[in-house]
Structure 1
Amino acid sequence: MSRIIRTEPGPILSKVVEYHGFIYTMGVVARELDADFKTQTADVLAQLDALLEQHGTDNTRLLQAQIWVKDINDRTALNELWTAWLPEGQAPARACVQAVMADPRVLVEIMVVATR
Structure 2
Amino acid sequence: MTIRRIEPGPRMSQAVIHGNTVYLAGQVGAPGESVTAQTKAILATIDELLAEVGSSKSKLLQTIIWLDDMANFAEMNAVWDAWVDPGNTPARATGEAKLAGPEYKVEIIVTAALD
TM-score when normalising by structure 2: 0.96
d(CA) in 2 for partners of 1:38, 1:78: 6
User: Residue type of the partner of 2:95?
Assistant: V
Aligned 1:34-73 pairs, distance under 5 A: 34-73=32-71
In the comparison of the two structures, how many residue pairs are matched? 114
d(CA) in 1 for partners of 2:2, 2:67: 34
The alignment's C-alpha RMSD in Å is 0.8
SS at match of 2:85: coil
> C-alpha deviations, 1:52-93, integer Å up to 9, x for none?
000101000000001000010111111111111011121100
Aligned 1:88-99 pairs, distance under 5 A: 88-99=86-97
User: Residue type of the partner of 2:20?
Assistant: G
Shift of 1:10: 1.3
* 2:22 alignment partner in structure 1: 23
SS at match of 2:17: strand
Where does the alignment leave 5 or more consecutive residues of structure 2 unmatched? none
Shift of 1:113: 0.2
The runs of at least 4 aligned residues of structure 1 exceeding 3 Å deviation read: none
* 1:114 alignment partner in structure 2: 112
**1:86 is the counterpart of 2:87:** no
**1:103 is the counterpart of 2:101:** yes
* 1:5 alignment partner in structure 2: 4
d(CA) in 2 for partners of 1:33, 1:102: 10
Percent identical pairs in the alignment equals 37
**Greater Cα offset, 43-52 or 8-17:** 8-17
d(CA) in 1 for partners of 2:76, 2:112: 20
d(CA) in 1 for partners of 2:62, 2:53: 16
